[in-house]
Structure 1
Amino acid sequence: MRVQVVEHPLIAHKLTQLRRKEAPSNVFRQLTGELVTLLSYEASRDIATEPVEIQTPVATTTGTELSDPKPLVVPILRAGLGMLEGMTAMVPTAEVGFLGMARNEETLDIITYAERLPDDLTGRHVFVLDPMLATGGTLVESIRFLKKANAAKITCICLVAAPEGIDRLREGVGDLDVDLYVAAIDEGLNEKSYIVPGLGDAGDRLYGLAE
C-alpha cells in the first residue's frame, strides 16, 4: 500500500478552514468538495487512458481519453457522500456506486447496511471516498468487499488520517494494489477513537447535525 500526503498551499489553507469548529455546515460542505477535487487531481495520476484520434476545427490530431471500463467512484455512506461532487467534478465520466458501512461505537465492529455496485468489477479502477481514516476498520472492510468483486485497483481518498488507521489499513490490505491519498496525517486517536485534532464528526458537520 502506498500512502501519499498531498502537500499544496491551497490544500493546507482549506483544511485549516475545514477544521474550525465555528465553520457552518454549508461552508464545511463547500470546503470538502474543493479539497476532494484537489486531492483527486493527484490521486488520478495513474488512471488508465488510451490514445484517440479527433478532429479539431483546424486539423486531425491524436489526443487522450479515459479507457474502458471507466473508473468507479464509491463514497462510503453517509459522510463519503459529501465528497462525491468534488470527485466527479474532476472525473465526470466516472460511474458511481455506493457502500453503506457504519462503526458500532461500543464494539467498533463494522456493519455493512447498504450496497449498490456493479456485480463484476473486473478491470475497474475504484476510487473510495471516506473523509476520516480513524481506526481503519471501515476502509479495510470496503477494500475487502471491492476485491471480492474483482476490482483491479483501489485508490482511497480521505481528508485526514490517524497513524493507527494507516497501520491497520496496511495490515488489512496486505499485498493488494491499494493507494491512499490524504490532506494530512494527524496526531492520533483519543479514547473514543476520534482523530485528534481531526474535524469532529464529518457526517454531522456536513449535514448540519453537529452540536
Structure 2
Amino acid sequence: MHIHYISENNSILNHFLSQIRDVTIQKDSMRFRKNIERIGEVMAYELSKILTYKEIDVQTPLGIKKTTALEDNVVLCSILRAGLALHTGFMNFFDDAENGFVSAMRFHPNNDDYFEIKVEYQAAPSFENKNLILIDPMLATGQSLVAVFQKLMSEETPKEIHIAVVIATPEGIEYLENNLPDNCHLWVAALDEGLNAKNYIVPGLGDAGDLAYGSKL
C-alpha cells in the first residue's frame, strides 16, 4: 500500500486539524463541518497531484493557451454518515466527479465491546476502470473500510483505488495493509497514537458523525 502522510509538513491543514480536535471549538457543529470540508479540499488537492492529465488548448479572448486538464474519471464514495462533510470538500475540487454513498456501522450483538461491521446501504455509480476515492474521516480498526471495500469490489474493478481519512491509527493502517491490495493509495491527514480498550482513537477527536450532525440513538 502506498501511504501519503499529508500533515508531515506544516501547512494550513494542521490549523484545521487542531480546531476539529479542540473540545471548545468542536462544539460548534457548523464550524466542525466546515473544517472537515476544508480538510477534504486540502486532501483533494494533494491527491490530484498524482492523477493523469492531458494537454489541451484553451481559447482566451486574446489567443490560445496550451495547458493541461484532468483526464481521469473520478468517483467519490463516502461512508455514511460521518463522511459527508469530508465528501463535500472533495466535491469542491473534483466537481465533475460521480458520487456514491455506502453505510457501515459497528454492531454489538452481545451488548459488550465486541462488534461486527454491517454494510446495509449502497448507492453508487459504476466505477469500472475509473479512479475510486473512498472517503471516511476516522480510520480506527480499519474494519469498516475493509468491509465496504470488499462489498464494492465484488461488483466492479476500478482503475485506481484511493482511500482518504482525516485521522488514522497504526492499528488501522496495519489492518488495511493486511487486507487490501498493494496498489491502493492511503491518504492520511493525521496519524494518532492508537486505540483504547473500546477501539476508539486516542487522542482522536470524539465521534465525528455526532460532532457534525448531532447525537444518534
| TM-score (structure 1 length as normaliser) | 0.92
Matched, 1:164 2:164: no
State the one-letter code of the partner of 1:162: T
Between Structure 1 and Structure 2, how many residues are aligned?
207
- Higher mean C-alpha displacement, 197-206 vs 109-118: 109-118
Aligned residue for 1:48? 52
State the one-letter code of the partner of 1:74: C
Matched, 1:205 2:211: yes
Aligned residue for 1:98? 101
| TM-score (structure 2 length as normaliser) | 0.89
Aligned residue for 2:19? 17
Matched, 1:29 2:33: yes
Question: Partners in 1 of 2:71 and 2:57 — Cα distance?
Answer: 14
Question: Partners in 1 of 2:83 and 2:71 — Cα distance?
Answer: 25
User: Would the aligned equivalents of 1:100 and 1:112 in 2 still touch at CA under 8 Å?
Assistant: yes
Q: Among all aligned residue pairs of Structure 1 and Structure 2, give the percentage whose two residues are the same amino acid.
A: 35
State the one-letter code of the partner of 2:57: E
Shift of 1:5: 1.1
Aligned residue for 1:61? 65
Question: Partners in 1 of 2:37 and 2:62 — Cα distance?
Answer: 37
User: Would the aligned equivalents of 1:135 and 1:164 in 2 still touch at CA under 8 Å?
Assistant: yes
Question: Partners in 1 of 2:31 and 2:166 — Cα distance?
Answer: 15
Matched, 1:116 2:123: yes
Structure 1: gaps of 5 or more residues:
none
State the one-letter code of the partner of 1:31: N
State the one-letter code of the partner of 1:15: L
Structure 2: gaps of 5 or more residues:
none
Question: Partners in 2 of 1:39 and 1:50 — Cα distance?
Answer: 22
Question: Partners in 2 of 1:103 and 1:122 — Cα distance?
Answer: 28
> Cα deviations across residues 103-158 of structure 1 (Å, max 9, x unaligned)?
2244322111110112x422110111100000000111222233331112111111
Pairwise CA RMSD of aligned residues?
1.6
